[in-house]
Structure 1
């Protein structure tokens, strides 16, 4: 099933977050229990070539793939889709004009201005005709505009109303920096949680999806109740650190029990 169809069915999905620009590493991440995999070009190390190669093992694992592009690189949104991504996350969408440019890169006419050329995406997904692909692409692909600043919050309704924007992605760390005027970085800062809930409610009211990065797993249940369906987590750094910690703790416990 596609990412869009699963979200439309009301599922709550967990996406791994890959920042290591290596297809073999992406393959290992894709084989874990996550519902989908996101390749991060903004703060992660992914670049155009690693996205092109890294999407292949995600698709081979039968999972949806997403790409977070660098700030303002709306041209990369089109390329990510042409490489085979089902969804693109655009950071720092701080105005309606940002949203319009992002949507234009994501959707074919008449909704947007995306250029035709699914050189890798069409054969990688391998079904139907090119006419079917064109007809269904605007509906199948998902454009997530990141809400991370007070400027974005001020024009949230305009962003949500922009044709071609399918959902928002709340970046809680940057949002906390903006919320506290540079005072702290705290993804679960209590003073902003009511506003984070309101962002999700407004997205749903506009018929759009709500996604969020979950830094602290303990907050997952709370944000799901707010209406966030797509939860991002689990960078390679976090997965390796957590796996090593659990493995070493079990080994040391076993050694201690035998002494």
Structure 2
């Protein structure tokens, strides 16, 4: 399984992805690939997409050799493990506000000895290949990408501790919700919003993690 994208996380290079909220035809993987994407994210939080959708899109992306991150609607164990079981390379978790929540996420997503994820091997997450449990656990733990969304002031306060946690790969700023939490809805150029973004960015730099957000323009992405 290709881990090149995950291995590149935490390094000072720009990665570009597609955020899928509507269009998920079988050609979407190749479309994203030729458009220059490094990864794709499928949104199950604010759409009608289901885990069945995620399973299909994971196959489309894998055919194009692109990793798929699935944003799930909660931080519950069963949503985390199921998204990974149907073939997602990683999960994005909304509204992460504390180190305790971050630890729960890591334990839910990782197999023994790094976590408590329930055993279901040889299925979509293993590309339907069987292997001894220690090997399957090791491969899945290595390739699983965890993107935790910082979307409120509590998350910003906890950003340093969350970024320091082993197993966390990306701190993804939810810009609209964060601006609301700061009391400045939609004001992404407000100094307070910029200070919050910089605080998350500094935490990521300090601990060798990647920071991400949805960019509304080319200027926002660089």
Provide the TM-score with structure 1 as the length reference: 0.75
**Alignment match of 1:62 (pick from 48, 62, 65):** 65
Q: Deviations over 1:73-128 (max 9, x none)?
A: 3422212222222221101011222212211111112221111214112126x697
Secondary structure of residue in 2 paired with 1:112? coil
Alignment of 1:57-136 (within 5 A): 57-118=60-121, 119-123=123-127, 131-136=134-139
Alignment check: 8 A CA contact 1:21 1:45 kept: no
- For structure 2, list consecutive stretches of 5 or more residues without a partner in the other structure: none
Distance (whole Å) between structure 2 residues aligned to residue 201 and residue 157 of structure 1: 8
Q: Counterpart of 1:166?
A: 169
Shift of 1:173: 1.4
Whose helix fraction is larger, Structure 1's or Structure 2's? 1
| Cα displacement (A) at 1:213 | 1.6
**TM-score, normalisation: structure 2:** 0.86
Partner of 1:254: none
Which residue of structure 1 lines up, in the alignment, with residue 155 of structure 2?
152
From the CA coordinates, give the structure whose radius of gyration is larger: 1
Partner-residue secondary structure (3-state), 1:103: helix
Deviation at 1:191, TM superposition (A): 3.2
The alignment partner of 1:13 has SS state of coil
* Alpha-carbon offset, residue 202 of structure 1: 1.1
Equivalent residues of 1:188, 1:219 under 8 A apart: no
1:49 is aligned to 52
Q: SS at 2:82's partner residue?
A: helix
Q: Does 1:186 align with 2:190?
A: no
Asked if residue 214 in structure 1 is aligned to residue 202 in structure 2, the reply is no
What is the alpha-carbon root mean square deviation over aligned residues?
A: 2.4
Q: Which runs of 5+ in 1 are unaligned?
A: 222-259
The answer as to whether partners of 2:187 and 2:193 remain within 8 angstroms in 1 is: no
